[in-house]
Amino acid sequence: DYWIPVRPESDASFFLGACKMMLDEGLYDADYCRSYTDMPLLVRTDTLQYLDPRDVFKDYQFPDFSKSYSGMVQTLTPAQVARLGGPMVWDLNKDQAVPIHRELVGWHFKKRGIDPALTGTYRVILLNGREVDVMPIFQMYQVHLQDYDLDTVHQICRSPKDLIVRWARDVGTVKPSAIHNGEGVCHYFHMTQNGRAAALTHIYTGNIGKFGSGCHTWS
């Protein structure tokens, strides 16, 4: 057991600093990020919106989910599926952007034989002839997290540097890992950002959806 003092409402900086350390030291689960998270999904650098397959492929049609989980259990209609849109990833096997859909998760995704890029910037030609640069969400976080080096994080959250490092390495190596937070922090003005940063540490390390893992809020 060890206790880490954190300046009130600065939790997000602590967690994002830990995320940067996990990336820098290779303490993330790349296979989990590819198969179970949004990390490989492509984002346009001009609009910061997901790359939409309807803008890339002529007359693109979304899959028919009427006989699968999305339609039968989640009761999504074709109109709702179209409104939600569909993501794309950069397939390293084909060296091009390819569409995927909401049910390609875990072994379903691996079964397709797609090798999605997590890093890099790629150029895609749209139907209107425009060329746009896209990058995976994982790459965008790599850029964002450059602001959260150890010295900066320490200045923001006032936590001892050695304990920030210790916790980041523990979460990156101890499996399973879980975060539990309570009613008090739920009332922080920016608790949504704090909670997302906390969850990101466990998304990177594959500690979501497994016994003994997760990021849980208690009220």
What percent of the chain is modeled with pLDDT above 70?
Answer: 100
> Considering the chain, what is the average pLDDT of its residues?
95
**CA neighbor of 4 nearest in space, from 188, 175, 184, 153:** 153
Structure tokens at 60: 């693109």
**CA neighbor of 62 nearest in space, from 116, 103, 96, 97:** 103
Tell me: cis bond preceding 78? Omega within 30 of 0 counts.
no
Q: Which helix (H) or strand (E) holds 173?
A: helix 161-173
Tell me: cis bond preceding 8? Omega within 30 of 0 counts.
no
What is the β-pairing status of strands 214-217 and 178-181? parallel
Stretch 103-131: mean pLDDT, rounded?
Answer: 95
How distant is the alpha carbon of residue 93 from its chain centre? 22
2-5 LR contacts (CB < 8 Å, sep 24+): 2/163, 2/166, 4/159, 4/160, 4/163, 4/164, 4/167, 5/158, 5/159, 5/160
Q: What is the pLDDT of residues 166-187, one digit of tens each?
A: 999 999 999 999 999 877 777 8
**Are residues 216 and 181 in contact, defined by beta-carbon separation less than 8 angstroms?**
yes
- Report how far residue 71's alpha carbon sits from residue 85's, in angstroms, rounded to the nearest whole number: 15
- Which letter does DSSP use for residue 51 in this model? P
- Report how far residue 200's alpha carbon sits from residue 14's, in angstroms, rounded to the nearest whole number: 12
pTM for the structure as a whole: 0.92
**Are residues 214 and 178 in contact, defined by beta-carbon separation less than 8 angstroms?**
yes
Report pLDDT for 182: 78
The answer to whether residue 219 scores a pLDDT higher than 80 is no
